[in-house]
Structure 1
Amino acid sequence: MQYQQPELFQKIKDKVNEGRWEIVGGMWIEPDCNLPSGESWSHQLLYGQKYFEKNFGRKALIGWNPDSFGYNWNLPMFLTNSGIDVFITQKIGWNDTNVFPYRVFWWESPDKSKVLTYFPFDYVNTIENPYRLIDWLRQFESNTGFTKLLILFGVGNHGGGPSIEMMGRIDRLAQLDIFPKIEFGTAESYLNWLKSQDLSEVPTWDSELYLEYHRGTLTTQSNTKKWNRKSEALLTTTEKFSTLANSLGFTFNKTDLNDAWENVLFNQFHDILPGSSIREVYIDADKDYRESNKIGSFILDNSLDFISKQIGTDKIKNAVPIVVFNPLSWERTDVAAVQLSEGDLNDYSIFDLVGNEIPSQAVAKDKYEREVIFIADQVPALGYKTYQLKKQKPVAQNTDLKISDNSLENDLFKIIVCKKCGWVKSIFDKRNNKELLTDFGNRLQILEDKPSAWDAWNIGLTGTEYPSNFRKMEIVEQGPVRTVLRTYRDYLQPGVKKEFPTEDFPSSFFTQDIILYNRLDRIDFKTDVEWWEDKTMLKVAFPVNVTDTVATYEIPYGTIQRSTTLKAQWDKGKWEAPAHRWANVSQNDYGISLLNKAKYGYDIKGNVMRLSLLRSPKWPDPTADRGTHSIEYALYSHEGKVMESKTTQRGYEYNYPLFATMTDAHKGKLPTEYSFVEISPSNLILTSIKMAEDEDAWIIQLYETKGQDTEAILTLPNRPNKICLSNFLEEDGASLKPEVNKVMFNVSAHSVLTLKLKF
């Protein structure tokens, strides 16, 4: 509107100034409220509130998400971090299993942040049924004790606001002596009235607002969800290293990075990212994501290159210096990949700076591109470590990796695949003398999926599972860094006969890679799918040798526990649940996490962990999910309960790879191994370092993961001149006093904390 209809936009501004057009929401778009990451939520509210403030001279005071498909438990914390203390939605009224009990309530996050929440009866109301309005008021008074009801009226979805006809109906009702008193007003004025009432008896809801409907939106349009996850990781990584590089003298176009974020935030709209839009939307979204990826990659590559040039590599002789960067806030050991020039078929080996050769492995990416992979050991937090690449054949080095025609093994695990069916038969944890599976794992389940309505939105499993055909198994990689065993499957729905001469030719195809790395404590899986089904859902199942009545799921900047029995009334509708990078089942002595790179729908019942991979609805996009997909997930097992493990860290590591950059030998002021920023203790995750929007300052964001009030120690590259607490809007709060390059402060259990620093 602002750019395409500037005259109309000015009229909107005039109405805002007159108090006749209300500013609500505070976000860049009305987003899905389960799928965006915590980092995305911070940007949604920052960019949205800054836009309103710049163009309308005011911030939104009301969280307004009437049509999103469920609301993550940390949303009250995000809203209060952005100057919003009230929230409106009506979507939970669409539940198919339970009736939500409250119309007015306090909604509380795990960190005890609260927003006063109001549930109107609908957000589409053309005022054609006055009896219904009276019934709503009767119900509202009975439910809340309040005798004043806010009615949202207008065409709503796909139509806009109120019409002259509706206004006329309201005026006629207002003239009836027997009809309840009617007055026009704003949501803000109504909520201010509500706040002025006695709220001491208003109930508190301290959980997520789970929508018992539209569960398919956690899975539909797989490629868009993959782009979202990839873009979030890329842009937060780019912010970190461009900010660190800027402190060393690097300059970059911050507007470009904002543009990249705006594309990603726009595509988090509550019908785009959930997968419930028409086909043309996803063509446009793909273009937006590619543009954001191009911007993020360009700035990141230049940032890493600039930092590499500040490192003193002049002592490296007869080798190419390789700088491995770690974008996460803890020291980690993980796989690193050095990209070789296109067509380069030379032999290479990797050495540390002392001269010890590191086991390495050349891997073909396609016909002309190769990379050299190796395990980078103890790469510093938010920092880097330097290695050497030499043009010589690697010396054969023994590692604990072993592979046969149906098994893989390293020092931590032994995996056996069934020769007859191709499913994983056994995963044995050598450290804990523990079998991970009770039945076949990594099993693809092809399920009939026929929802009665809202095809892309809803899941309609009928109980029918179709078999796939196992064709063969082969070793595809066998080296000192990783081994890969691949199985092949295909599928044609039983009873389907196609045209001659391919009556029995399969319609969909699957390859499943089982991947073990030297020394890494996770098991990777990659399932490539050529998917051409209708009304069918694809899940992968792991029956694990661990049981508990609850499973733990990652949500934006936190976790939530949900039942694995689904026996309690409020659990019965949660048979498909949202999660971000992982879900976990733990008993007292042992636990197993199912990690993923780009999926959001899980179901865990009893001891069976399932990850939803693909759907194939026919409406509104008849091509949804058809085509090729590469889907990655992993298992991480651990001693003790989930909060005693490194599950959160492993989820981040799986989604935020190490970056290996080639440089040359040169003098520099930076050492060959360095951490720019560190945070301790380990229950704190530093998620973001970025340049402030409106001033020359750093913004650092972190959150607490284990439900413990914590004294934090932040180590910086230099002593800041000023540091203060802040919020999602980057506003100044209480000042903190640094001691040289360290800052100590308190972080409340389950909370997110933002700092502003000036150097």
Structure 2
Amino acid sequence: MRDRLNDRQRPGTSSHMMVLYGVGDHGGGPTMEMLHRAEDLARVPAFPVLRYDNPDGALGQMRRSRPDTAFPVWRDELYLEYHRGTFTTQAWMKARLRRSEGLLRTAEALAAFDTAAYPRARLEGAWRRVLFNQFHDILPGSSIRQVYLDAVANCDSAWATVDSVTGAAFAGLRARLDTRPPARRQGIPVVVFNPLPWLRSGYVTVGGRINLGLWVRDVPPLGARVLWVDSERGAAAFDERGSDVSSGLEAPQIGATWMENAFLRIELDTATGAVTRIQDKRAGREVLAPGGRGNVLELFGDRPRSWDAWDIGYTGERWEIDSVVGIRRLLGGGSARMIVTRRFGPSTFQQELVLERSSPYLDVRNRMDWHGRRQLVKVGFALATAPDSLTCEIPYGTIGRAGRPRTQAERAKYEFPCQRWVDVSDSTGGAGFFTDSKYGWDYHGNVLRLSLLRAPIWPDSLADRGVHEFRFAVYPHAGDWRAAETERRAAEYNTPLVSALEQPHPGTLGRSVSFVSVDAPNVELAWVKRAEDSDALVLRLVEWHGRPATATVTLRGRIAAARSANLIEDPGESLPVRGNIVRITLRPYEIATILVDMAR
């Protein structure tokens, strides 16, 4: 109380303060004991006047007490200094939630353009189960073990629903495509769907009566195309013109300590398992610093003074995981692979370094049997490009993180969170790094580290012990992250193409279709769904590069009307429409929602 009274004596401070009260930190309401205590305090003459109010009223009173210029402005993220470990703890949960987000994006996009009734109730049920698992102790990894057993069951239930919705909507899409092979050709039809709103190429795995991996070129934005597998030529496939759809690039090669494709050359120290060279062949650049190494597995002592699952507490202990117990080299199927197995104590760390024929990044596929105790596993890269800060993806935007901290606030961020990617580059080039399920990073000088696994003992004494499978990738590029489209490559890494076999038949959509696309390179159609209260399409657009943009959105079919909306889909102003095109202007990093009524 004395501190609060002293604060009031400082120039520019308000005499009003909003205080939240209730049970715990989970939104619990007040108890009778709390209410009685408030009544008792109101009788104390020296105690500040208490008045019950709602947030709008309380904040309004505070704002009226001082001019706006008197209030300090915090121009940064709200970084919680005792929650550094929550970016990594309970890795299984984080992996399941990342996968859930991708599955729901694909399911809602397919269902939105299906001719069948939109399955709102089923999708809402799946969303509720996924979002319940984003409660503030489940997602960060700070719950007891029983909670995670329940959370896994919730995820499994949500996935079953989403898989059913996706399967039905994709089957409906395939039925509307013309899957008959072109004249004078015979082949098995394969339909590939792209859930992302830009033209895209990539690998798909085709199951069913054939089982093969296939490189697919130019799948339309938020759309699909038909290919045919030539059963007489094995994995060869052709398009509607009868042209081969292989990448046309030279096959990867592999040696005792190296492998390369058309984009990258990778060299490995077989004694330690570390990567000693990542060469960007297109740009003629080295990713690693002279004498530097990448993919270095490190183990750190991690004993927080309190809040074991929440925080990171470095002890000064550090070990390199460099005991290589096996290396295998595989070449074929359009890829070169080195499988490196390392051991440390009771834990085993297997990494499969993969260069696909047409991939511009090194994919690292991990399988780790982890049995540490109060330790933290990281993977590090000593980089040739070392700007003062790197760029991180945060929800629907980006933020810079200092590699050479100058302020107390920057020094406190010795571990920081990112979403799907980070990028370390200057105007001439650098490298992006993306993951399928990891969030904790650190960056000091020219060394970037990704946190992989922790081993706290409270409140779950077995947290993270066991087998984990996850991926991360290194994406060298010329130019900065905007020029390299790092955000798009990371989205592709986390949102796979969808494929399935189909019988030959005619279809009204033809052999290729795009349902919606956006022309501005810095604007992403981040989500598409049907409205909660109507059959209108909901298009969620995001400006990524911090620059104003005017985006042209093109849909398949004539637009009857389009309106801007807020995040809960309340309609706003009408937007200009011409045929199947609607235009919208976005501010830097703006999230914009459009409600679109299609003509019948």
**Common topology (TM > 0.5):** yes
SS of the residue 1:538 aligns to: strand
Say whether residues 1:474 and 2:359 are aligned partners. Answer: no
- Counterpart-to-counterpart distance in 1, 2:47 and 2:74: 33
Which of residues 240, 249, 259 is equivalent to 1:408? 259
C-alpha distance in 2 between matches for 1:583 and 1:735 = 37
Aligned to 2:242: none
Partner of 1:380: 220
Code of the residue aligned with 1:428 in structure 2: it is Q
Structure 2 counterpart of 1:24: none
> What's the TM-score once normalised by structure 2's chain length?
0.93
**Change beyond 3 A, Cα 1:140–1:388:** farther
Q: Does 1:647 align with 2:481?
A: no
Structure 1, residues 51-80: CA drift from partner, whole Å, max 9, x if none? xxxxxxxxxxxxxxxxxxxxxxxxxxxxxx
What is the DSSP-based 3-state SS (H/G/I as helix, E as strand, rest coil) of the residue aligned with 1:733?
strand
Confirm or deny that 1:279 pairs with 2:119. Answer: no
Distance in 1, Cα, partners of 2:434 & 2:550: 29
Hey, what's the Cα distance between the residues in 2 that align with 1:325 and 1:611? 32
Question: Displacement, 1:695?
Answer: 1.2
Match of 1:584 among 423, 430, 434: 423
Deviation, structure 1 residue 173: 2.9
Q: Residue type of the partner of 1:460?
A: G
**Alignment CA distance shift 1:385-1:211 (3 Å):** same
Write the mapping of 1:476-491 to structure 2, written as runs, cut at 5 A.
476=330, 478-491=331-344
Unpaired runs of 5+ in structure 1?
1-131, 342-347, 349-370, 493-506
CA distance in structure 1 between the aligned counterparts of 2:100 and 2:424, rounded to whole angstroms: 28
Q: Letter of the aligned partner of 1:340 in structure 2?
A: G
Q: CA RMSD in A?
A: 1.9
Is 1:456 aligned to residue 309 of structure 2? yes
Structure 1 position 417 matched with structure 2 position 256: no
What's the CA shift string for 1:206-247, capped at 9, x where partnerless? 2211112210000000000000100001101111111011xx
Structure 2 unmatched runs, 5+: 237-247
Tell me the distance in 2 between the aligned counterparts of 1:752 and 1:158. Answer: 28
What is aligned with 2:474? 635
Write out aligned runs for 1:661-672 (5 A).
661-672=500-511
1:599 to 417, 435, 438: 438
TM-superposed deviation, 1:137: 4.3
Identity %: 34
Contact 1:399 1:480 in 2 (8 A): no
> Is the Cα–Cα contact under 8 Å of residues 213 and 235 in structure 2 kept in the other structure?
no
Change (3 A) 1:178 1:428: closer
1:185 aligns with 2:87: no
Alignment of 1:162-241 (within 5 A): 162-197=30-65, 198-241=67-110
**Structure 1 residue 140 displacement after superposition:** 5.1
What secondary structure, in the 3-state scheme, does the structure 2 residue paired with 1:294 have?
A: helix
Q: CA deviation at 1:404?
A: 2.0
Is this contact kept in 2: 1:326–1:379, CA < 8 A? yes
TM-fit CA distance, 1:158: 7.8
Q: 2:129 aligns with which of 245, 259, 263?
A: 263
Query: Which of the numbers 524, 527, 532 marks the counterpart of 1:693?
Result: 532
Code of the residue aligned with 2:464 in structure 1: it is D
Q: Alpha-carbon deviations, 1:293-350, whole Å to 9, x = none?
A: 1111111121111111101123456422101111111111211211235xxxxxx6xx
Q: Does 1:521 align with 2:360?
A: yes
**SS of alignment partner, residue 237 of structure 1:** helix
Label 1:400 to 1:699 Cα distance change in 2 as closer, same or farther (>3 A).
same
Which one of the candidate residues 148, 152, 159 is aligned to 2:20?
152
The answer on whether the counterparts of 2:251 and 2:334 sit within 8 Å (CA) in structure 1 is no
Q: Structure 2: how far apart are the matches of 1:409 and 1:165? A: 69
Aligned amino acid, residue 49 of structure 2: K
- How far apart are the structure 1 equivalents of 2:394 and 2:278? 28
C-alpha contact 1:137 1:147 (8 A) present in aligned 2: no
Q: Are the equivalent residues in 1 in contact too, given 2:347–2:369 (CA < 8 A)?
A: yes
Match of 2:448 in 1: 609
Question: What is residue 330 of structure 1 aligned with on the other side?
Answer: 198
* Structure 2 letter corresponding to 1:592: A
Q: How far apart, in 2, do the equivalents of 1:265 and 1:280 lie? A: 18
Match of 2:171 in 1: 305
Seen in structure 2, the aligned counterparts of structure 1 residues 393 and 229 have a Cα distance that, compared at 3 Å, is: same
Q: 1-side partners of 2:473 and 2:53: how far apart?
A: 53
Task: Report the Cα offset of residue 279 of structure 1.
Answer: 0.3
The residue aligned with 1:680 is 519
Give the partner amino acid of 1:627. Answer: G
Which residue of structure 1 aligns with residue 4 of structure 2? 136
Task: Please report the TM-score for the alignment, with normalisation by the length of structure 1.
Answer: 0.74
Count of residue pairs brought into register by the alignment: 581
Give the match's secondary structure for 1:260.
helix
Q: Distance in 2 between matches of 1:153 and 1:664?
A: 62
Q: Quick one: distance in 1 between partners of 2:550 and 2:23?
A: 51
The residue aligned with 1:250 is 116
Q: Which is strand-richer, 1 or 2?
A: 2
Aligned mates of 2:223, 2:334 — CA distance in 1: 23
SS in 2 for 1:337: strand
Q: Does 1:433 align with 2:284?
A: yes
